[in-house]
Amino acid sequence: EAGVAQSPRYKIIEKRQSVAFWCNPISGHATLYWYQQILGQGPKLLIQFQNNGVVDDSQLPKDRFSAERLKGVDSTLKIQPAKLEDSAVYLCASSRTGVEHNEQFFGPGTRLTVL
């Protein structure tokens, strides 16, 4: 089966600009995650969707970050306006739902550099 797809793979922007990332999860996976991974650290969950509903967005900086999954399939993550500290790899992952011990499948990530 096809894996989790993300685009773009790399993005360089200046601070205060806007940027959007796209994720297409594995077909049939109801749960979708966006993670932020700053260099040298483990990933940090930004937001978790179950179908098109938000399960957890407690660590999403809502003043500048937004995410949606309107049809319960693919998702976009937006940053507006970007700050220098937003430079990171943004990872999307998906998993089946309703079963404990769900394995998460990760996409290749989008590396964002904010200048």
Q: Whole-angstrom Cα distance, residue 56 to residue 64?
A: 17
Please state whether 12 falls in left (phi above 0), alpha (psi between -120 and 50) or beta.
beta
Per-residue interface string for the shown chain with another protein, residues 81-100, x marking contact by CB under 8 A: --------x-x-x-x-x--x
Nearer to another protein (CB atom), residue 27 or residue 41: 41
Residue 112: CB atoms within 10 Å: 20
With respect to another protein, which residue has the nearer C-beta, 44 or 62? 44
Q: Which residues, 10 to 39, sit near another protein by CB under 8 A? A: 31, 37
Nearer of residues 22 and 81 to another protein, judged by Cβ: 22
75 touches another protein (CB under 8 A): no
One-character DSSP codes across 11-24: EEE-TT--EEEEEE
- Four-residue CA torsion sign, 30, 64, 81, 39: negative
Q: Say how far residue 60 (Cα) sits from the centre of its chain.
A: 10
Among 57, 87, 106, 113, binds another protein (CB under 8 A): 106
> Which of positions 36-55 make contact with another protein (CB under 8 A)?
37, 40-45, 48
Chain residues in the site for another protein (CB under 8 A)? 31, 37, 40-45, 48, 56, 89, 91, 93, 95, 97, 100-109, 111
